[in-house]
Structure 1
Amino acid sequence: MTTKSKVLGGSFIIDDLDFNAIVIPEELTEEQRMIAETTEDFVAGELEPVDEQIEKLSYELTVEKLRKAGELGLLGADVPEAYGGLGLDKVSSTLISEKMTKASAFALSAGAHVGIGTLPIVYFGNEAQKQKYLPKLASAELIAAYCLTEPSSGSDALGAKATAVLSEDGSHYVLNGTKQFITNAGFADVFIVYAKVNGTDFSTFIVERTMEGVSIGPEEKKMGIKGSSTCPLILEDVKVPVENLLWEVGKGHLIAFNILNIGRYKLAVGCVGSAKDAIEYSAKYANERTQFGRPISSFPLVGKKLAEMNIRTYVMESMVYRTAGLFDVGLADVDYAAADVGYQSAKAIAEYQLECSINKVFASEGLDFVADEGVQIHGGYGFTQEYRIERIYRDSRINRIFEGTNEINRLLIPGTLIKRAMKGELPLLQKAMKLQNELMELRASSLQFEQPLELEAHLLASAKKIFLMAGASAVQKYQTKLEQEQEVLSNLADIMIGVFAMESALLRTQKRISLQGGAKAQLGVDMTSVFVQEEFSRIAELAKETLAAMETGDMLKTQLSVLKKLTKNGALDTVKLKRRIASRVIEAERYVP
């Protein structure tokens, strides 16, 4: 199951997309469903019985279960068959990542291994490196870790101080430096390490634990994800053979940032899985807990929370499977045996850099919302370790920090869009100029919407126009200094995130109506209606704040007048819809799409 044709990254903000062009969870193949079930069975049979031991950070148990997952093929989904993996589509690997999240910190250990740990070799390794490492990584005979962050460089990855110096005989590089907060470091065998050759050329190396001079610092005492290993990696005159240079000298930034793109997307997938778990725990608890002689699930404000949790998760899920479909098409033509595989991979992954950041920000903040409401539903018990929601709450907080903080990602989203436009890859400026002429002649009108989701489609189209109006104003006013206006960029990013989220839910639900019929898709219609209405109101406020930050006087009045016409919107009875959504969640005692 793949989309029919390639969609340009970032084009969603200026183009309309047909729902047939996206992937949705409702159209999974039988093989994909079997992969999901295999993962669920593995978690239930192998991990849940030893959950407490893993949470107390048992290296031996984690490695043992990783190897068991490797035997089942759950760690080789993204590794080509030629190198011992399964070479599955991205939707299938997404399902594995999502279903693994019920295993808490173990899911992070597995995710770091198969994602940012293994994929650098998949996408950027040469033939010899792939033959040597990938089969053992796919089986978990070797465990991988990704080493980019340093004590003095987090978001500023290129400010890393680790160095690599080529030996006089040209046989090896000597690496020195310290990497910080390295997931899996306590038991990893292979480290993907970034260092500057001669102090300038940012490059990537495959470092083995057994190499002389490699040592591991103490475990960090963390607020959450306690069952995962997080330690410093210390490199002291480590002799790394030249054969272990990944790709080319000076190409490390392309590897680092593109692997982070994948990492951001996979992080969003994990957030979807955890949000579903939180809804299940919360709905069951709400049905079991009685106050004033009745289950608390019968109280409208508790139902409202469950409805909003379910809506947010539906949107998150719509976004990540849509993005999986984008990657399936984008990476389909990569020849992993080709000499220029690195360039092919970098180009294919970078195409959706913007969408990966959007997924990461929306899903990490969405999970925080869901987890927080889950704790509230549990009341005092939610604050105790006796109930799983407490762990989900603590574990969720790191997602807004690693794989690039949400603040950094918010700056990247509009920045990437503008760069693509300047390179002529997207007709953004042309669309904005055309829209400016239309907006000057815009007349407020009372539109009639009779078919399901017609109003929501109209609001989505208006939201795209709002972004183009605000974005064009920002570019015209600040020009090359726009990157210094972080508040404006953040607001533009939030509008783009909102548009992608609205469109993902809308297209999914439209496709569901086409596939399942209106009756079966009714819950999706209700959730899409509520989300689009509420998100559109938020976008209108963001635009108003952004315009006020850029303009004053008559110019501001003119722009606000245009914005008012674009944001004219009728009232929707979201209370009734949320009650209807809540009843379905309460009855099912789980996430309901």
Structure 2
Amino acid sequence: MENKQLVGGSFLIQKTSPKDVFTAEDFNEEQLGLGNVVKEFFNSFVEKHSMEKVALLNAEKDSDLILQTIREAADLGFCSVSIPEAYGGMGLDFNTNLLITEAMASGFSFATSIGCQTSIGSLPIVYYGNEEQKKKYLPGVCDFSTIASYALTEPDSGSDANSGRTRCVLSEDGKHYIMNGQKIWITNGGWAHMFIVFAKIEDDEDLSAFIVEKDFGGVTTGNEEKKYGIKASSTVQVFFDNTKIPVENLLGERGEGFKMALNILNSGRIKIGAGSIGGIKLGILNSVSYAKQRKQFKTPIADFGAIQYKIGEMVKKCYALESAVYRTGRNVDLLHDKIKAEGGTDNQAKVNSLKEFAIECSIVKVYGSEAATYAADETLQIHGGIGFVADTGAELGVRDIRITRIYEGTNEINRMLTLAEIARKGDNRGGKIPSLDLAGYGKKIPGYILKQAIPFGKSSEEWDVVENYIENLKILFITFVGTLGQDLKEKMADEQEIVMDLSDILANAYIAESCYLRYLKSKEEGKLNAEELKAQADATKLFLFDAINESRVKAQNTIYAYGKQTTKLEKVLSILLPKYKQNPVELRRDLAKYALAKDGYSMGL
């Protein structure tokens, strides 16, 4: 892969070859085997205890069973996947971590608890810790003898995390930081031995990060929160009352905590995307199984178009998300390896590779969480009344998936972050050399749009048309952002409805291209049979059809909300996004029938 592909957001202005993307079909047997071990573990737990028991698990009354189950999972290595081998971990690459995160979705609330242990609760030490901190804490994370937690959010600071009021002062002897404050919504908090806590030192304006052991004293937790979902995970308030933290437990540099939190969130965001893949696959599996055996009017409900619509839509969304997540994950791995090859430390490589792809991480977090929410809701709907009771697992899926649209920055915040990051990368003011030369690329756009307006000279071959539409989505985004940005400048951030609509157009371009490149790679490599290849083609065309229609509406919203240069922007929109003629009903039905024939999701993986 050429280095030009290792710049976050570069998909907007550079062509990508199918051979330069990683797809789900590229995982080897060993990687797939690890994912299967995870799924088999949780499936056996459900078989042993019943789905009703799993659905009714509660962290307050069932903590012994929950913690024992996680210890058994840790014995199989589930808590060590992100930890380097030198500290007792498996040292797996990032994309394999994502595959295991996908498989964890079959564990419902267990995925939340283990996810905290292996991600936000320990990665700050992996990424920013010094050698002594890593040796002291990471082995316990691996075997679950040290339960890890992450304490950032406060009663008055949610999305505005840097406004937190928890503070530390240096003790008179200079050996400890004395911490006072409160944190809320702390996953694993009721069980944790160790917290990654973000607080301000004395009069600092920016957060610092600390490794705080519960045994330091002055650390207390509130009662378990009464939650809508993820009830088998611990969620509590944590209070710090003159907690004495050894100065050597400052994590990273003073005042760098907020940046650290943001970088760790990038990991959490793409992992939500990966976990959402697993959630959708589980929904498809359960929906297909029930729809084939449930009869109404002497006919399996799987034969009805209304049910096939729901299943086909789930398959499309899963294929699209899978294509984007593993494409992004591999790019993170490649950049990590490149940074190390150029002399960077492993810590620098881990931090900077994720930071570089912050745009893509936010895109898959938003799309994945919303796609999985759709799948969970429609799985319950397909089950009808019986889906509303605990023993099917359908209602559990609805309750547990809802948090993913709030976790790791709400979807609204993530939509706005993608545009802010695009603006940062494209900023050429004051002689800066932007990592994304959007201004330079923008000079080519008027000529491109003019050529698109000419009704002849373009290929009518099916996949050339697809590629052209994907390119047009990118051009539409750049044109609208450029036009509004030049006029509104910093005030554009205040137009949040416009920003979110433009963010969705950006996401549609990235995900549509990911679908298309995956299909092309499958076709070129010849690994799939004709039936499998047709399913990928159908999913790609259906996603693009919906992406074009959605983007057209969002562009129109932007035009009329902005209220300036209306004629020009309407013309650009009509040229770039003319009608894409597909039969969405047929495409969805074919995807549904394919899933029904395969007894679940089977798109090559």
TM-score relative to the length of structure 1: 0.95
Contact 1:59 1:186 in 2 (8 A): no
Task: For residue 442 of structure 1, report the CA deviation from its aligned partner.
Answer: 4.8
Task: For residue 537 of structure 1, report the CA deviation from its aligned partner.
Answer: 1.5
Q: 1:87 aligns with which of 85, 91, 97?
A: 91
Question: What residue number does 1:539 align with?
Answer: 551
Distance 1:252 1:133, change over 3 A: same
Between 469-478 and 423-432, the greater mean CA deviation after superposition: 423-432
User: Percent of counterpart pairs with the same letter?
Assistant: 36
Mapped to 1, the partners of 2:258 and 2:221 lie a distance apart of 24
Letter in 1 for 2:154: E
Mapped to 2, the partners of 1:393 and 1:181 lie a distance apart of 20
- State the SS of the aligned residue for 2:215: coil
Pair 1:22-2:27 in alignment? no
Contact 1:190 1:208 in 2 (8 A): yes
Deviations 1:314-351 (A, max 9, x none): 11111111111011112225669x99665554322210
- State the SS of the aligned residue for 1:175: strand
Between 327-336 and 577-586, the greater mean CA deviation after superposition: 327-336
Q: 1:492 aligns with which of 486, 489, 502?
A: 502
Distance 1:112 1:48, change over 3 A: farther
Task: For residue 143 of structure 1, report the CA deviation from its aligned partner.
Answer: 1.1
Question: What residue number does 1:591 align with?
Answer: 601
Distance 1:444 1:122, change over 3 A: same
Q: 2:516 aligns with which of 506, 518, 526?
A: 506
Contact 1:137 1:143 in 2 (8 A): yes
Mapped to 1, the partners of 2:12 and 2:591 lie a distance apart of 29
Letter in 1 for 2:35: A
- State the SS of the aligned residue for 2:90: coil
Question: What residue number does 1:434 align with?
Answer: 444
Task: Identify unmatched segments of 5+ residues in structure 2.
Answer: none
Deviations 1:121-170 (A, max 9, x none): 00000000001111111121111111100111110100100001111211
Question: What residue number does 2:30 align with?
Answer: 31
Mapped to 1, the partners of 2:340 and 2:517 lie a distance apart of 31
- State the SS of the aligned residue for 2:242: strand
Distance 1:352 1:48, change over 3 A: farther
Contact 1:48 1:103 in 2 (8 A): no
Distance 1:218 1:415, change over 3 A: same
Between 398-407 and 513-522, the greater mean CA deviation after superposition: 513-522
Pair 1:232-2:237 in alignment? yes
Mapped to 1, the partners of 2:369 and 2:457 lie a distance apart of 36
Contact 1:124 1:345 in 2 (8 A): no
Mapped to 1, the partners of 2:298 and 2:173 lie a distance apart of 81
Deviations 1:532-566 (A, max 9, x none): 111112112211221222244xx311221222111
Mapped to 1, the partners of 2:237 and 2:88 lie a distance apart of 30
Mapped to 1, the partners of 2:350 and 2:99 lie a distance apart of 22
Q: How many residues align?
A: 588
Task: For residue 26 of structure 1, report the CA deviation from its aligned partner.
Answer: 0.8
Q: 2:57 aligns with which of 33, 55, 58?
A: 55
Contact 1:172 1:240 in 2 (8 A): yes
Pair 1:45-2:44 in alignment? yes
Distance 1:440 1:263, change over 3 A: same
Mapped to 1, the partners of 2:34 and 2:74 lie a distance apart of 14
Q: Structure 2 matches for 1:416-435, cutoff 5 A?
A: 416-422=421-427, 424-435=434-445
Contact 1:444 1:565 in 2 (8 A): no
Q: 2:316 aligns with which of 311, 318, 321?
A: 311
Q: 1:241 aligns with which of 242, 246, 262?
A: 246
Mapped to 2, the partners of 1:342 and 1:238 lie a distance apart of 29
Task: For residue 91 of structure 1, report the CA deviation from its aligned partner.
Answer: 2.0
Deviations 1:501-538 (A, max 9, x none): 11111111111112225713110001101111111121
Contact 2:476 2:572 in 1 (8 A): no
Deviations 1:395-445 (A, max 9, x none): 111111111011111110011011111151110121123213443565242
Letter in 1 for 2:274: V
Task: For residue 363 of structure 1, report the CA deviation from its aligned partner.
Answer: 0.4
Q: 2:578 aligns with which of 568, 576, 581?
A: 568
Pair 1:177-2:181 in alignment? yes
Mapped to 2, the partners of 1:449 and 1:340 lie a distance apart of 48
Deviations 1:56-100 (A, max 9, x none): 322222222222222222221111111111111122111211111
Mapped to 1, the partners of 2:223 and 2:546 lie a distance apart of 46
Question: What residue number does 2:138 align with?
Answer: 134
Mapped to 2, the partners of 1:570 and 1:267 lie a distance apart of 31
Distance 1:122 1:436, change over 3 A: same
Deviations 1:297-323 (A, max 9, x none): 111111111101111111111111111
Distance 1:340 1:158, change over 3 A: farther
Mapped to 1, the partners of 2:57 and 2:163 lie a distance apart of 34
Letter in 1 for 2:93: D
Contact 2:369 2:405 in 1 (8 A): yes
Mapped to 1, the partners of 2:457 and 2:111 lie a distance apart of 48
Letter in 2 for 1:478: L
Between 309-318 and 436-445, the greater mean CA deviation after superposition: 436-445
Mapped to 2, the partners of 1:269 and 1:151 lie a distance apart of 29
Letter in 2 for 1:142: T
Mapped to 1, the partners of 2:66 and 2:162 lie a distance apart of 32
Task: For residue 486 of structure 1, report the CA deviation from its aligned partner.
Answer: 1.0
Question: What residue number does 1:210 align with?
Answer: 215
Contact 1:195 1:204 in 2 (8 A): yes
Question: What residue number does 2:541 align with?
Answer: 529
Pair 1:462-2:472 in alignment? yes
Mapped to 2, the partners of 1:447 and 1:59 lie a distance apart of 67
Q: 1:160 aligns with which of 141, 161, 164?
A: 164
Contact 1:164 1:176 in 2 (8 A): yes
Distance 1:373 1:164, change over 3 A: same
Mapped to 1, the partners of 2:172 and 2:339 lie a distance apart of 36
Mapped to 2, the partners of 1:359 and 1:457 lie a distance apart of 21
Question: What residue number does 1:387 align with?
Answer: 392
Contact 1:162 1:177 in 2 (8 A): yes
Letter in 2 for 1:240: I
Task: For residue 482 of structure 1, report the CA deviation from its aligned partner.
Answer: 1.5
Question: What residue number does 2:588 align with?
Answer: 578
Letter in 2 for 1:33: L
Mapped to 2, the partners of 1:157 and 1:510 lie a distance apart of 42
Q: Structure 2 matches for 1:308-387, cutoff 5 A?
A: 308-333=313-338, 343-387=348-392
